Structure 1
């Protein structure tokens, strides 16, 4: 009923056709941008989420589910949760286009660099002028869902602790400085330290306009990001190899549109044997989006495997569980009899599997 009321009031929108999706993302949905979509869905479907949690609390389900639901109910009906939900929705919405660029098969590095600069500009604008409107939206959301709105001039209370901080602060100082500014500055740090320099170096591999972006120093810096793949001696050899490489390919490789096309051309012409270090750097640049997505999948899976009730799992045990969960497509191909025989032969056991 509340969803229909929100639709009629224009608070949420719907569409027609196939693939209309208004739901909380599944835990296994770990593509870049899934967290932003989850927060957007949570803001839109907050009434439905509350209804589901209330149903679980009031039902005769097992104690673990009721306990989790009660904890969640206490958390989401707080100003702190609502503020962080809206803040992170805004923060993650800024680099969402950048994440889409990084997932494209052509790996358009030039557009990725442009997207990074746009993100930094929007973050700076958000830091300077969005606080008032953010606080207004949070207050409106809290009033709409019967959540207590904190007074910004009141003293900040540390939840779950008996003692205050050594120097008491107001809610305004906590949420505006310690949360709002800190989160934005952390995002700035990620863009400055990781993406900007990395993408600028990767852009030097771009083959457009007769390799106009080629820069030996930046490509050497890119190789230094992979110390386990390039030794100190190989870095010296790499610099000399780059000089021969650019003279060779600039006159013969034309009309290439991406790093992927360049890598294919290098293999077809067997120049991967002539310039092995450069080809190694090309492959590392190509697998960067996949490697980043794998890390994201791992952290998402960790939240599934190591829950609040299973928070004492050892490192080795959780590593084994994560491998089994993340690589489940490969493990599904294994014969169960082989697994049981291996387990049975590890040591003498009373029972026979």
Structure 2
């Protein structure tokens, strides 16, 4: 099983905020709130069955915790270990709730996937930068409080010149920002292949397939390129039997 499990303490963070929102909604619309300290009564068609735990336990453990566990199991079934390491690492860079999800070890596990950019020496330097950076942006520099996402975090690092103080941390943030774009581009390419390399055109070589996929995927870019420009570029590539 991939390492996407969370503790009950971590679940309680989400439970408390959800409970507050539900209570505010009920008060606003005059909906009676349950007494969380009373024994939970399971209503059935024929009778109401009283159990030996409270209403709070039912909603928090039997409903909220169980749904989270189902979602985690679904994530584990859909994503392999490498993908889970990437997602866990990116989540640890999230600055919501004053970097409450920050975990250096999970970030370093994600970093090991980028062999070309982080060798053994850079890994040690990155770990040192992460220790100093989290103290700086979480406990000292109040300009980094209440940021809304990695995009805002990267911009704030540049504005405060901290991208020069922690260059490897800034590189890691950029990788995290590029990840959704890279994944989306791959998905678009595979989707395009179903339409381009079909049963009638299943013998095209890789070079011709690449030439067809790029214009199909990047339609918005190629809309601004005239046919005359394409013809001139094609004609200048090599000698042809005839001019287009």
Q: Into which bin does the TM-score normalised by the smaller protein fall?
A: 0.5 to 0.7
Distance of 1:262 and 1:115 partners within structure 2: 31
**Superposed displacement of residue 199, structure 1:** 2.5
Structure 1 residues 192 and 323 mapped into 2: Cα distance closer, same or farther (>3 Å)?
closer
Q: Deviations over 1:310-330 (max 9, x none)?
A: 111111211111112112221
Give me the CA root mean square deviation: 2.5
Larger strand proportion of the pair = 2
TM-score normalised by L of structure 2: 0.63
User: Which of 45, 67, 70 lines up with 1:118 in the alignment?
Assistant: 70
Structure 1 residues 322 and 269 mapped into 2: Cα distance closer, same or farther (>3 Å)?
same
Equivalent residue, structure 2, for 1:58: none
Equivalent residue, structure 2, for 1:300: 191
Tell me the number of residue pairs that the alignment of Structure 1 and Structure 2 aligns: 176
Equivalent residue, structure 1, for 2:13: none
Equivalent residue, structure 2, for 1:276: 167
Higher RCO (CA 8 Å, separation ≥ 6 residues) = 1
Contact 1:266–1:272 (Cα < 8 Å) also in 2: yes
**Superposed displacement of residue 300, structure 1:** 0.5
Structure 1, unmatched stretches of 5+, are 1-113, 124-186
Equivalent residue, structure 2, for 1:322: 213
Structure 1 residues 344 and 258 mapped into 2: Cα distance closer, same or farther (>3 Å)?
closer
Equivalent residue, structure 2, for 1:336: 227
Contact 1:238–1:278 (Cα < 8 Å) also in 2: yes
Equivalent residue, structure 2, for 1:290: 181
**Superposed displacement of residue 306, structure 1:** 0.5
Alignment of 1:257 with 2:148, yes or no, is yes
Structure 1 residues 326 and 199 mapped into 2: Cα distance closer, same or farther (>3 Å)?
same
Equivalent residue, structure 1, for 2:239: 348
**Superposed displacement of residue 203, structure 1:** 2.1
Q: Deviations over 1:69-100 (max 9, x none)?
A: xxxxxxxxxxxxxxxxxxxxxxxxxxxxxxxx
**Superposed displacement of residue 243, structure 1:** 1.9
Structure 1 residues 229 and 335 mapped into 2: Cα distance closer, same or farther (>3 Å)?
farther
SS in 1 for 2:114: coil
Contact 1:208–1:256 (Cα < 8 Å) also in 2: yes
SS in 1 for 2:79: helix
Structure 2, unmatched stretches of 5+, are 1-65
User: Which of 181, 189, 202 lines up with 1:311 in the alignment?
Assistant: 202
Alignment of 1:208 with 2:96, yes or no, is yes
Contact 1:116–1:195 (Cα < 8 Å) also in 2: no
Distance of 1:193 and 1:284 partners within structure 2: 18
Distance of 2:76 and 2:161 partners within structure 1: 42
Distance of 1:197 and 1:119 partners within structure 2: 17
User: Which of 157, 164, 188 lines up with 1:266 in the alignment?
Assistant: 157
Equivalent residue, structure 2, for 1:242: 130
